[in-house]
Structure 1
């Protein structure tokens, strides 16, 4: 039974506002999650994509939500689409002018909600605490958000990131058939490369893939990786390394934490406060407190591929049962459009 027939309600209409396409395309994953539930979705980028918007950006030295020309375009789309919910990605608040335009373009009662997926440690001066709700993926920012929204009716909630199974497709490749090594696939930033070198200095073997991986003997490894390429690496190597990106994640889990097991790989993660809320350490994911411990865990998995297989399978089940973007969409709809949420969660199973 489809979500629409189960609820006997019109499909909820979700309007998504995002900064623009970067290395991560999680705005596409969120759209996919809502559409899987039968929602109608329209997405609009805040990047200046018309001449008048670019002129406004240069003339007023404003961009994104502060550029009135961009906000007028979005307001026109809101007026035409008539959403039940507006979801704004990666902003802790709204400029007053943008908020006023969006309210005026809808019925005035349409919830405007934010969802943060990057580290947030200061409130930009151009923004105001005007969201009806804010989802945040990392508890490190919780106190600051509570201070900012104190005295308002805004609903604050922790909402972890997730995986898109359509992008990180599962394949049942047994651990015995994988390359018995540790691999990292992603953007090899300076802080990450420093960690990689420290790991190698203690005798740990590590293969790296992605931009700035500094593999001069294998230059093809330095290219930007598609989700398909990432999935293949996660399944090809016995263990996939995950490290925190400096300035991005503190207490929470990044996208890779969910994408590795989604594809069927065996993931690792540093011990952070929110980890046990999403995975069972040692049973669904490998958790390390030091690089020395990480090295020991990798050696243990190489020596015992059956245990590695059991952990990777358990991690995959956990993601598919609780941590897809469709699950996050169910949470958001239940919070803001509860009459539309009937039957949605069961439709995912």
Structure 2
């Protein structure tokens, strides 16, 4: 059966890492769509890459390719050129800032590459950067893995699951190539960006610090992306530390890397636990915590992170920072509870610790909303609709 006669698309998933591939496959399976997965990791030459890709495309005859964070495309641009010659569309769904990745890739001036972005603000970034077409596609929950158990016995009052960002910050600083004598300048930029209402870092730097702006503009694409990442991660770390300090009065459990000990001090008023496995540990942890606390990364000041979907999908209650894109995904106050500033955290935690029935009702409503609108099957449906609109593929 050819593409012209098929009612529904065939999707070939490609990636050099298994990142989120299981979730995309689950979405395809839930919709009954024909799909295949081509793993491109460990390939040692461009000839091997081309042979592997051509063989699978010839065998499966997909209507389009789908990858995450550009992990299915090589930096030299061979996959892009293959798709151009075959007139085969490829969709790259970014769940991190695309401008931290794309400048390192070649051959992107290709009408058969299109982008989905988890942060609505990134659509404009791609348009300004001349990368072509893009549409907004939020994160989702894998309802086959996040089993809903709303009445699990609580084992802890308050918890936060997340990285301290220390290792990422140090790594990005080293890769930026900036001398250590300038680290104080960039630490200052990170602190001010964390407090700023501006969402776009280049715009913020250009308006806030002319010296930093000149230094950033003088960098090549790789070091510039590393420098931007340093600022995002350091700003995120400072914000998370401030939030954790507001939680200390409740004796929270913090699950993550050991750098948390240095960041918020000895465990006199909080408890540390090791990093949790995403699939086997997190759902149980979320549903057995009275209040799952969330802070959003500074790389996505308007968007929703994974916890916003996973916590209620598992039957847990979420307290998160307000982000503008929340209003389109959930009904604030009924399906999700938000703090608008660190100063609001204490009162909200006290209120919801004292009101288990309210926590349960909000979690139930959030889970129902996720089942209606926010599964990976819903996201695959949106992808198919957009690919039909842009390329005429089956939907």
Q: Within the alignment, does 1:277 sit opposite 2:291 as a pair?
A: no
- Equivalent residue number for residue 16 of structure 1: 13
Relative distance call for 1:293 and 1:129 in structure 2 (3 A) is: farther
Q: Within the alignment, does 1:114 sit opposite 2:165 as a pair?
A: no
What's the CA shift for 1:144?
Answer: 2.0
Question: 2: CA distance between counterparts of 1:171 and 1:119?
Answer: 33
What's the CA shift for 1:193?
Answer: 6.1
- Equivalent residue number for residue 254 of structure 2: 208
The one of 279, 299, 303 equivalent to 1:227 is: 279
For residues 121-169 of structure 1, give each alpha carbon's deviation from its aligned partner in whole angstroms, at most 9, with x where no partner exists: 354143323244211111232222112337xxx5321010101011111
Q: Within the alignment, does 1:129 sit opposite 2:109 as a pair?
A: yes
RMSD of the alignment, in Å? 3.0
Alignment of 1:53-68 (within 5 A): 53=44, 56=45, 67=46
Relative distance call for 1:232 and 1:69 in structure 2 (3 A) is: same
Question: 2: CA distance between counterparts of 1:339 and 1:148?
Answer: 26
The one of 268, 272, 281 equivalent to 2:319 is: 268
What's the CA shift for 1:15?
Answer: 0.7
CA contact (8 A) 2:253 2:272 kept: no
Question: 1: CA distance between counterparts of 2:89 and 2:343?
Answer: 48
Paired residues in the alignment total: 306
SS where residue 297 of structure 2 aligns?
A: coil
SS where residue 124 of structure 1 aligns?
A: helix
Question: 2: CA distance between counterparts of 1:169 and 1:242?
Answer: 20
TM score, norm. by length of structure 1 = 0.77
Alignment of 1:320-335 (within 5 A): 320-335=371-386
Relative distance call for 1:45 and 1:220 in structure 2 (3 A) is: farther
Question: 2: CA distance between counterparts of 1:75 and 1:316?
Answer: 42
CA contact (8 A) 2:69 2:98 kept: no
What's the CA shift for 1:216?
Answer: 7.9
What's the CA shift for 1:11?
Answer: 5.3
What's the CA shift for 1:298?
Answer: 1.4
Relative distance call for 1:36 and 1:187 in structure 2 (3 A) is: same
What's the CA shift for 1:225?
Answer: 1.6
Question: 2: CA distance between counterparts of 1:72 and 1:339?
Answer: 25
- Equivalent residue number for residue 246 of structure 2: 199
What's the CA shift for 1:320?
Answer: 0.8
Gaps of 5+ in 2: 167-236
Relative distance call for 1:68 and 1:194 in structure 2 (3 A) is: farther
CA contact (8 A) 2:65 2:90 kept: yes
SS where residue 161 of structure 1 aligns?
A: coil
Question: 1: CA distance between counterparts of 2:56 and 2:349?
Answer: 51
- Equivalent residue number for residue 154 of structure 2: 178
The one of 70, 73, 83 equivalent to 1:102 is: 83
- Equivalent residue number for residue 138 of structure 1: 119
Gaps of 5+ in 1: 1-7, 57-66, 342-349
The one of 13, 25, 32 equivalent to 1:31 is: 25
TM score, norm. by length of structure 2 = 0.69
SS where residue 238 of structure 1 aligns?
A: strand
